[in-house]
Amino acid sequence: MLTVRAPGRVNLIGDHTDYQDGFCLPLALDREVVVRAVPRADGRVVARSDATEGIVDVPAGGVATPSSVTPGWGRSVAAVLGLLAQAGRDPIGFDAEVTSTVPVGSGLSSSAAFAVAVAIAAAEIAGFEIAPRSVALLAQAAEHAATGVPCGVMDQMASVFGRAGHALLLDCRSLEVETVPIPESAAIAVVHTGVARRLEDSAYAQRRSACEAAAARAGVAALRDATLADVGNDPFARHVVSENERVAAFVDALRAGDLDRCGGLMRASHASLRDDFQVSTRELDALVEAFARAGAYGARLTGAGFGGCVVALVDAGAVDTIVGSAVARYGSTTGMTPIPLVVHAVDGAGRVDERDH
Ligand code: GLA
C-alpha cells in the first residue's frame, strides 16, 4: 500500500495576484487529503472517498473529456491521469481510498490538495518520476480541465512546497519559493463564514479576464509589471498592483517581527479586495470587522472571496480569547454559524510510508 498526503492552504496575503504573474504568501496547513493506493491489474483507477459520494472508475490513461466524468469528483482524477499519461506515465491502474480533513468549498484548496495527492500517488505507483514543480503545474492544468475554472498556481504550489512553521513567498512568474518563518508569538486563525463558495459560479473567470484586458491596455505582459500610474483608475488592476506591494511589505514586517504592521497590511488588503476587486461579501466584511474589535493584529478574506474564510493574525498568547470573541460577535451580528480553526504551517505533499511489496 502506498500512502500520500497533500495539505490544503491558507493565504496570508496576496490574493488575485497569482494569475497576473504576481506574489502571494500562503502556507500549507494542518488539514490534508490522504490517498491510500494499491495497484490493480485491469488498467483502471477505482477511487472511493470519505468526503463525497459515489465510486470513481476511470481508465488509468484518463479520458477524452474529463469534465463529463461522473461522479463529479472523478473529473479531477481523470484529468490528472490524462495529463500524466501525456507526460509519459504508463497507464497502470490502482484502487484508491481517499480521506480528507480539508473542509470542502471553503476556500482552503481542498480540490488542489486532492489533485496533488492523486498526481503523486499515480506517479509513485507507476514508478514515474515527476519534479515537484511539475506536480503543481499538472494539478493546476487538471483543475482547468476538470472544472473550467481558470485558477492560478498558488494553491497547488502551496500544497507541494509547504514547510512546517513557515509561510511561502511565491513568485508566480518564476515559480520560485522563498520560505519565511512565522514568529512564535503569532497565531493564525481561519474562520469559515458559514457561506459556501463555488468558483464555477463566481465571477472568478471574469475578474481574471478583466485583469488580462487591463494588462494589455497598460502595455505589459502581466499586471506584475505595471505601476499604479500605469493602470490609472481601473479598480481591478489597482487591486492587483497594490496587493503585490503589500505582499513585499508584509514579508519585510514578518521578518522583522512587526505583527502590528502585518495586521495593518492585512486590513488594507481586505479593503482593496472589497472595494476595488469587489470579491467580498457582507459576511466576510462582518467577520473581518469582528476580528478587529476582538483585538486581532489584522484579518482579511483569504483565497478567491465570494464566501469562504477569513484569515486572522493574532497574538499566540490570546488566540482562544480573540477567536472566541470574534466568532461570538460575528454570529450575533449575522445570524450565521462560523467554523473556527487555529492552523499551523506544515510540510508540503509527499509519501508518508514505504511501499509494501
Ligand atoms: C483561488 C485560485 C488561486 C488564486 C486565488 C485568489 O484560490 O485557485 O489560484 O487565484 O483564488 O488569490
Chain segment 155-204, per-residue pLDDT in tens: 999 999 999 999 999 999 999 999 999 999 999 999 999 988 766 667 99
* pLDDT tops 60 at residue 134: yes
DSSP SS3 for 267: helix
* pLDDT tops 60 at residue 355: no
* pLDDT tops 70 at residue 91: yes
How many angstroms from the chain centroid is the CA of residue 139? 12
Question: What pLDDT, on a 0 to 100 scale, did the predictor assign at position 195?
Answer: 87
**Largest distance between two CA atoms of the chain:** 62
Q: Which residue has the cell 488588503?
A: 269
Q: What spacing in Å lies between the alpha carbon of 201 and ligand 1's midpoint?
A: 14
Percent of the chain with pLDDT over 90: 94
Q: Which of 18, 155, 234, 276 is catalytic?
A: 155
Residues 244-247: contacts with CB under 8 Å, at least 24 apart: 244/14, 244/17, 244/22, 244/23, 246/13, 246/14, 246/272, 247/13, 247/14, 247/17, 247/22, 247/23, 247/24, 247/25, 247/169
> Backbone phi, then psi, for 345, in 5-degree steps?
-80, 130
pLDDT averaged over every residue in the chain: 96
Tell me how far apart the alpha carbons of residues 357 and 354 are, in angstroms, rounded to a whole number: 9
Q: Which grid cell is 332?
A: 450575533
pLDDT digits 0-9 by tens, 16-70: 999 999 999 999 999 999 999 999 999 999 999 998 899 999 999 999 999 999 9
Per DSSP, the residues of 101-113 read: -SPTTSSS-HHHH
* pLDDT tops 90 at residue 353: no
Mean pLDDT score, 5-23? 98
DSSP H or E segment with residue 230:
helix 228-231
* pLDDT tops 60 at residue 357: no
Mean pLDDT score, 201-215? 93
Q: Which atom of ligand 1 is nearest to the CA of 143?
A: 8
- Burial class from Cβ neighbours inside 10 Å (0-12, 13-18, 19+) for residue 194 reads middle
Confirm or reject: Cβ of 234 under 6 Å from ligand 1: no
Tell me how far apart the alpha carbons of residues 176 and 153 are, in angstroms, rounded to a whole number: 12
How many angstroms from the chain centroid is the CA of residue 111? 9
Tell me how far apart the alpha carbons of residues 53 and 73 are, in angstroms, rounded to a whole number: 9
Confirm or reject: Cβ of 21 under 6 Å from ligand 1: no
Tell me how far apart the alpha carbons of residues 156 and 32 are, in angstroms, rounded to a whole number: 13
Tell me how far apart the alpha carbons of residues 264 and 298 are, in angstroms, rounded to a whole number: 6
pLDDT digits 0-9 by tens, 214-263: 999 999 999 999 999 999 999 999 999 999 999 999 999 999 999 999 99
Confirm or reject: Cβ of 19 under 6 Å from ligand 1: yes
**Virtual CA dihedral for 17, 116, 250, 107, nearest 10 degrees?**
70
Question: What pLDDT, on a 0 to 100 scale, did the predictor assign at position 51?
Answer: 82
| Integer CA distances (angstroms), 277 to 16, 32, 201, 265, 283, in order | 9, 30, 17, 16, 16
Percent of the chain with pLDDT over 70: 98
Q: What spacing in Å lies between the alpha carbon of 151 and ligand 1's midpoint?
A: 6
Mean pLDDT score, 127-141? 98
Confirm or reject: Cβ of 239 under 6 Å from ligand 1: no
Mutating to test ligand 1, I would choose from 106, 140, 143, 155 the residue with most ligand atoms within 8 A of its C-beta, which is 155
Question: What pLDDT, on a 0 to 100 scale, did the predictor assign at position 354?
Answer: 54
How many angstroms from the chain centroid is the CA of residue 53? 23
Question: What pLDDT, on a 0 to 100 scale, did the predictor assign at position 105?
Answer: 79
Q: What spacing in Å lies between the alpha carbon of 152 and ligand 1's midpoint?
A: 6
Mutating to test ligand 1, I would choose from 9, 18, 224, 311 the residue with most ligand atoms within 8 A of its C-beta, which is 18
The answer to whether 155 is a known catalytic residue is yes
Contacts of 249 (CB under 8 A, 6+ apart): 261, 265
Query: What residue owns the CA closest to ligand 1's atom 2?
Result: 151
